[in-house]
Amino acid sequence: MKFIPARRTLLKAALLPSAASVAPLRFVPNAAAASVAEPGQYAYFTAVEYTWVDAAVARLIPNDESGPGAKEAGVATFIDHQLSGPYGRAETWYMQGPWKQGTPEQGYQLKQTPAQLYRTAIADVNAWCSKNGKRPFAELDAGEQDKILHDLEKGELPLERAPAKDFFAMLLQNTIEGFLADPMYGGNRNFVGWKLIGFPGPRYNYVVEIDQYGKRYAEAPVGLLGRDGTRVKES
Domain that holds residue 19: 7-197
> Rounded to 10 degrees, what is the CA torsion of 161, 165, 170, 171?
90
Residue 229 lies in a domain: no
Domain count, the chain: 1
**What are residue 64's phi and psi, to 5 degrees?**
-145, -160
Residue 217 lies in a domain: no
pTM across the whole model = 0.83
Residue 67 lies in a domain: yes
Residue 132 lies in a domain: yes
Start-end of H helices in the chain: 7-14, 47-60, 75-83, 86-89, 114-131, 142-154, 164-180, 192-197
In terms of Cβ atoms closer than 10 Å to its own Cβ (0-12, 13-18, 19+), residue 164 is buried
Nearest to 230 by CA among 74, 76, 71, 72: 74
Q: Give one DSSP letter per residue of 204-229, joined into a string.
A: S--TTTTT-TT----SPP-BTTBTTS
> Rounded to 10 degrees, what is the CA torsion of 220, 3, 161, 120?
-30
Residue 231 lies in a domain: no
The pLDDT tens digits along the chain (235 residues) read: 344 445 545 555 554 443 334 454 556 655 444 344 454 589 999 999 999 999 999 999 999 998 999 999 999 999 999 999 999 999 999 888 787 777 878 888 899 999 999 999 999 999 999 999 999 999 999 999 999 999 999 999 999 999 999 999 999 999 999 999 999 999 999 999 999 998 999 887 778 887 888 888 888 899 988 887 765 443 3
Residue 230 lies in a domain: no
**What are residue 189's phi and psi, to 5 degrees?**
-60, 135
**What's the one-letter identity of residue 230?**
T
Cβ–Cβ under 8 Å, residues 14 and 180:
yes
Residue 211 lies in a domain: no
Start-end of H helices in 27-93: 47-60, 75-83, 86-89
Residue 96 lies in a domain: yes
